[in-house]
Structure 1
Amino acid sequence: MAEATLTISSRNYSSWSLRGWLLCRMAGLDFDAEVLPGGDAASRAELLHLSPSFLVPRLTHGPVKVWDVLAIAQYLTEVRPEARLLPDGLVDRSWSRSISGEMHAGFINLRSALPMNLRARYAEFKVWGGAQSDIARIVEIWEAALTAHGGPYLFGRDPVVADAMYAPVCSRFVTYGVGLPRACAAYRDHVMDWALMREWIAAAADEPEEIEELDMEF
C-alpha cells in the first residue's frame, strides 16, 4: 500500500492536478493517484473556475492533508529535502519561488483563452490581446531564467518547483500552436519530452471523456 494519496481531477484538462502530480513524483513520494469522476463537484469547480485553491489536487500523507499546489510544494520540500525541489542558493530559491507564485496567482487571460487540453491541436488558433500579453510575460520569465542558468530547465540541469508550475503552459503552447523564441521553444520541447510529462500525457490519452461542455466557461 502506498504511503500517500494524491486526489486529482481530469488528467487531460486539469493543469493544477498535473502540477501536484509532478511535484509528488519529483519528490520521490510513494503515492497512489485517486481520480475524481467528471461529475464530482470539486472536480468540476476546479476545472471550470480555473482556481488554484479548490480542494484538488489534495495530498493525503499519513495524518497530513494538504491542498493548493504551492502548499503541496512547500510540504514536499520539508519532508523530502533530498529531492532538491528548489534550486541551490538563496537568490535562485527566491527567484524560483517568485515565478512559481506568479504562475499560481496570475495569467488569468491565458488560462481563459487557452485552457489545457492535452488531446487537442488547434493549428490556426488566434490568440487575443489579453492572452498575448500573458504569453509575452511568460517568455520574459523563461528567457531570463534560461539565460542565467543555461537550461535545459529553468534553473539548470534538473527540474524544480518552477518547472512543474510552468509545465502545463508548455502543453498549452503545443495545443494552440503558440510561436515562441528559439530558447523558449527548446525549453517547451524539453519539458514536453520529460519522462514524467510523457507518462502523464499517455494516461490522459486513455482517460474516458466524462466531462462535458468544459469550454463554455473558459
Structure 2
Amino acid sequence: MAEFTVVIGNKNYSSWSLRGWLMARIAGIEFEEILIPLDLPETQAAIRKHSPSGRVPVLVHRGLAVWESLAIAEYLNDLKPEAGLWPPSAAARAHARSISTEMHAGFMELRNNMPMNIRASYPGKGMTPAVRADIERITSIWRDCRKRFSGAFQKDDGFLFGAFGAADAMFAPVVTRFRTYGVKLDTDSDAYCNAVLAQPAMKEWIDAAKHEPWLIQAYELD
C-alpha cells in the first residue's frame, strides 16, 4: 500500500487537480490515486472524506491531509528537497514562488471564460479584452523567466527555470487552455507550451483525460 494518496477530480476538467498531481510526480513519490468525478450529487460527500476544504486536490500522508496545490508543493519540498520542486538559488526560488502565487490568486477572466477542457477544441471562443490582458501577463511571465532563470537548475529542458518544477505545474493547466481555445502565441511562449505538453507526466494526464467518460456540461461550449 502506498504511503501517499493523491485525491483528484476529473482529469479533463480539474485544473487544480492537475497542479497537485504534478507536484507529486515531480517529487517522485509513489502514491495511490483516488479520482472523484465532479459535479455529481455524491461528489461533495466523497471529497470531504479526504479533504476538510471539500475541494481537490488533497495529498494524504500517514493520516495528514494537505490541501491546496501550493501547500502540497511546500509539504513535498520539505520531505523531498532533492526533487527540485523549487529552484536551488534563493533569488530564483523567490521568483518561482511569486509567480506561482500570482497564478494561484489571479487570472480569473481567463479561468471563467476559457475553462479547462483538455479533449475539446474551441478556437476563438472565450476571448475578451480582459482575457487577452490575462494572456499577455502570463506570456510575459514565461518570457521573463526563460530569459532570466532558464539555467536555474544547471539544466535547461525548456521550462521556466530550466527543469520541470512546481512553477511549471502551476501554469500547466493554462497551457492546455491555450491549446483548447486556439490562442495564438509568440514563438517563445509557444515553445514553452510545447515543452510542457511533451513532459511525460503531462502526456500521461492528457491521455487519461481524453478517455474519461464523464461530461460537465458547463465546460462543454458547443
TM-score, scaled to structure 1: 0.90
User: What RMSD in Å do the two structures reach over aligned CA positions?
Assistant: 2.0
Q: Give the gaps of 5 or more residues in structure 1.
A: 46-52
1:123 Cα deviation (Å)? 2.5
Deviation larger for 122-131 or 101-110:
122-131
How far apart, CA to CA, are the structure 2 residues paired with 1:177 and 1:44? 35
Distance 1:177 1:195 in 2: 22
**Letter of the structure 2 residue corresponding to residue 57 of structure 1:** P
Q: Does 1:113 align with 2:113?
A: yes
Give distance in 2, aligned partners of 1:206 and 1:33.
Answer: 16
List per-residue Cα deviations over 1:7-66 (Å, max 9, x = no partner): 101100000000010000110111011011331443999xxxxxxx75310110112110
What secondary structure does 1:34 align onto? strand
CA distance in 2, matches of 1:165, 1:42: 24
Find the counterpart in structure 2 of residue 194 from structure 1: 199
**Number of equivalences:** 208
In structure 2, the CA distance between the partners of 1:101 and 1:70, relative to structure 1 (3 Å rule), is same
| Cα distance in 2 between the residues matched to 1:43 and 1:68 | 18
1:25 equivalent in structure 2: 25
**What's the CA shift for 1:126?**
5.3
What is the identity percentage for the equivalent residue pairs of Structure 1 and Structure 2? 44
Matches within 5 A, 1:106-145: 106-125=106-125, 127-145=127-145
Q: Kindly report which structure 2 residues correspond to 1:27-176, keeping only aligned pairs within 5 A, or say none.
A: 27-38=27-38, 39=40, 40-42=42-44, 54-125=54-125, 127-150=127-150, 152-156=158-162, 158-176=163-181
**Residue 44 to residue 5, structure 1, CA distance change in 2 (3 Å):** closer
- Looking at structure 2, the residues matched to 153 and 186 of structure 1 have their Cα atoms a distance apart, in angstroms, of 9
Name structure 2 gaps, 5 residues minimum.
48-52, 151-155
Three-state SS of the structure 2 residue aligned to 1:122 is coil
> What residue is the counterpart of 1:204 in the other structure?
209
Could you say what secondary structure the match of 1:59 adopts?
Answer: strand
Provide, for residues 145-192 of structure 1, a one-character-per-residue CA deviation record: whole Å limited to 9, x for no partner: 011134510001x11110000011000000001011100000001101
